[in-house]
Chain A
Amino acid sequence: MKKRFIDFYLDSVTKGGSGGGGGTLHPYKPVSGYTGMPLADGRTMTLSQVKNRGTGTFWYGALPSVAPAVGDKICFYGVADDDGNEAPFAVWGTISQYNAYSAYCYVKFSAYDGASYIEDGVQTVLGGGSYESDGGDALTVNAVGSLYPIKPPASLGYKEMPLTTGWGLTNLKNNWDSKNTNAQYKTDLDDTVASGDKVLLIGKVTDSGKTWPFAMWGTVNTTVKYSSYMYVKLATYDGLSIMKLDSTYDSMVGETHIYENGTYAADSGNSIEVSVGGSGAVSKASQIVDRSITSYEDNDVTKVGSYAFFACASLADVKFGSATSIGSYAFRQCTSLVTAIFDAVTSIGEYAFQGDAALESLVITQSTRVCTIASNSLTGTATAKLKIYVPDALVSSYKSATNWSSRASQIYPLSDFTG
């Protein structure tokens, strides 16, 4: 069997066996509710069997110490043969048949509850739930979905190039934000790639010990080629998608940030249309907004994600009726933002309004409690210009609250707001 090392995303074994990351090739499996059954030594299952998951398929397992009964929940896992390559997988569901022989057993499933498999370095998880791998990784998938990063359609002609080194989230975003033409992206050698080509870089990004997939696409500036690998510098950055983490960075939620206009799709068949483009990170993809918008109002979104409106330079006013939190950098460098109204917000993240020098009115109407704010959330706003309106009954509380106290002179009762 041909050995193929698999890298990327939730696993970090490096191509070519050069080490790296202490990762794992273990597929994700349900956290609880299923009895594990590994593939029997010397037996083979194919990736197509994993994908098809027929009720007539025999799954050849190692003999268990306790025989399962019909109706039991089993998680069957192993490494499938994918046309000569290895494809770690797990399938789980309810068994309809069990037979034991001297060295192995088999089970058949009457119903499959889910599956995961790693194909070409990408792990797909089918079925909502909480998962973990033997590598200690954890994952939550809110709905049926996959861990493929969203990518531009093939028709746009971006040549896919897997990256062989990971990136830190901050560095990657800095490159994107600054359109850094000097950043070097290490990939496997591809002699056909040259300046001016359109490339789609697929890699993993890490932050605080967490790893998740991203795709970034643009036009090649220059390349530096060696015997087995190469570096690519981009002349243009056309798009970036990063799988979204939840606010605690503890789990993926199967969402994707999209940073530019267009219609995108994942290899899994998931697709997302971003008709007005945007900066991503709002909780629902359909509510990602155009960077050129001048006004935005939403009463459904419950969380304004990090970077959601980053650098929307024409945005003059926003109003959120249900958002309870504002993520880091959410309105950073919205240099035309004058009025921001929040009816439900209880927390404001780091640098949320940094550089918003035109901001005149920050309006918080929820009267349940004082909203938390980071010390740097309003850095770069104009102290003489910005007025912060809060419910009349909470004015004194705000004036003495943590990180609001330094702006006590800017805090006014909501009844004074005339906007």
Chain B
Amino acid sequence: MIKTELLEGDLIRTYSDAGFYIHGGSPEGDYSEAIDPVSAQRTYTETDIPIELSDSDALSIITNGEYGKEGEADAVE
């Protein structure tokens, strides 16, 4: 679903709460999120293109590689 939130400076942030790229804007294109002047009244549609950072990737980045890695899960015999 498309979500919006107002930002300082009469700007509005638009994004997909499901983690997909959104389409629209000016120039028209696919954006992971879009920040526009409120006055521009731009609209966006949600695409089916997932933003590539996965939860695992995010966790790995946030924890500096401690968690979320692949290939470490089954080192037990």
A residues at B contact (CB < 8 Å): 163, 165-168, 170-171, 174-175, 178, 180, 182-186, 207-208, 224, 226-227, 231, 347, 350, 369-372, 374-376, 397, 400-403, 405-406
Contacts and interface: CB of A to CB of B under 8 A. Distances in A.
Contacts of B54: 168, 170
B70 A166 contact: yes
Given A226-B77, A375-B34, A186 B71 contact: yes
Interface in B27-77: 27, 29, 31-37, 40, 42, 50, 52-54, 56-57, 60-61, 64-66, 68-72, 74-75, 77
Contacts of B72: 183-184
Residue among A170, A180, A369 with max Cβ neighbours from chain B (10 Å): A170
Nearest to A209: B50
A375 B35 contact: yes
Interface residues of B, number: 36
Interface of B: 7, 9, 11, 13, 25-27, 29, 31-37, 40, 42, 50, 52-54, 56-57, 60-61, 64-66, 68-72, 74-75, 77
A351 to B, nearest CB: 10
A14 B28 CA distance: 43
B38 to A, nearest CB: 10
A185 B74 CA distance: 11
Given A163-B71, A186-B74, 6 more contacts: A174-B60, A175-B69, A183-B72, A186-B71, A403-B36, A405-B36
Contacts, number: 101
11 contacts: A165-B71, A167-B71, A168-B57, A182-B66, A183-B65, A208-B52, A224-B75, A372-B27, A402-B29, A403-B31, A405-B11
A374 B77 contact: no
Contacts of B61: 170, 174
Contact of A180 (B26, B29, B57, B65): B65
A237 B13 CA distance: 40
A401 B24 CA distance: 11
B32 A374 contact: yes
A372 B29 contact: yes
B34 A403 contact: yes
A357 B60 CA distance: 25
Contacts of B13: 375
A266 B11 CA distance: 51
B75 A174 contact: no
A401 B50 CA distance: 23
A170 B65 CA distance: 11
A124 B50 CA distance: 31
Nearest to B34: A402
Nearest to B10: A405
B69 A171 contact: yes
